[in-house]
A = this chain, B = another copy of it.
Amino acid sequence: MRPRLCNLQADIVMASTPSLTATLLVSCRDRTGLVAALSNFVFQHGGNILDADQHAESESGEFFMRLVWDVSGFRLDRQATQSGIEALARQFDLRWELTFSDARSRVAVMVSKSSHCLYDLMLCQQLGDLGGEIVRIISNHDTLADVCRHFDVPLTVFPVERDQKAAAEAKQLALLGELHVDLVVLARYMQILSPAFVERWQGRIINIHHSFLPAFAGARPYQQAQQRGVKVIGATAHYVTAELDQGPIIEQDVCRVSHRDTVEDMMRKGRELERLVLTRAVRLHLQRRVLVSGNRTIVFG
């Protein structure tokens, strides 16, 4: 009698806010009748739609939708919900992803020596705002061991020696698998991941680049910015793809600089941006608000 169980669980969760919700992300080519079909599906089984967002890419005609409903009165259990959506997916040729709010995503954060982005992610988690759980820090150095201990998250150090990168990556990949990680966050991790690694984690690695992409891709962006004499600097969080700094952008932000700002000043101001932008992007991803369309993202904010 799974449905009953599910409802029981939902009721218990309901006692404390917020209620248990289901989030459905879909994309498809032909959407005729899709909104009505999905709304009906939720309504007919006793769900209450809390949030609905949609977007049609004008050029490709591709359609994207995010639907959130309150599961507390829903008459289908998770298995049956899944099956119901599978049926609709066949009918409308949907790509889709269904998640429940009590299933917290498991996050691994990869770092090198800089602590600012790691602190920010950890604090966000500590305040209960992240929308997932950081289950492991992976680093090529032990510089941030103390920070990991403070936040009580285990650190695994895999030194990345020259010519031994493949071996290090093999260990990293094995660990990510063991830990059932859903998302990898590169929080100023100073190694470039191999195409094979990136391919395997397609759409599930978020990196922070310390410039307003596409300006100043590659190394030493603040030096580049200072030399070009820009009046605004930025930071960009994006999904990692095989091409360096070219993946779909999730979030960007900027701040003003002037002739008075040295490269060091830009680095300091940039650190503020990097951590804010990265944490925002990770939250958006974990709240299932980001859909990828080619090299762009749809962000239902």
A interface residues, Cβ below 8 angstroms from B:
31-33, 35-36, 39-40, 42-44, 48-56, 58, 115-116, 119, 123, 126-127, 129, 146, 150, 212-216, 227-232, 234, 248-254, 258-260, 262, 268, 271-272, 276, 293, 295-299, 301
Q: How many copies of this chain does the complex contain?
A: 4
Q: How far is the CB of A25 from chain B (nearest CB, A)?
A: 14
Closest beta carbon of chain B to A242's beta carbon, Å: 17
Q: Give the residue of B58, B229, B258 whose beta carbon is less than 8 angstroms from that of A301.
A: B258
- A234 closest partner in B (C-beta): B232
Question: At the interface, is chain A mostly helix, strand, loop or mixed?
Answer: mixed
In the assembled complex, the Cα of A299 lies from the Cα of B232 at a distance in Å of 13
- CA–CA, A212 and B255, complex, Å: 13
Across the interface, A123 reaches (CB within 8 A) one of B52, B115, B228, B248, namely: B115
Which of A251, A259, A268, A299 is packed against the most chain B CB atoms within 10 Å? A259
Residues of B within 8 A of A51 (CB): 54
Instruction: Report the separation of the CA atoms of residues A296 and B225 in the bound assembly, to the nearest whole angstrom.
Output: 10
What B residues does A299 contact at CB under 8 A?
231, 258-259
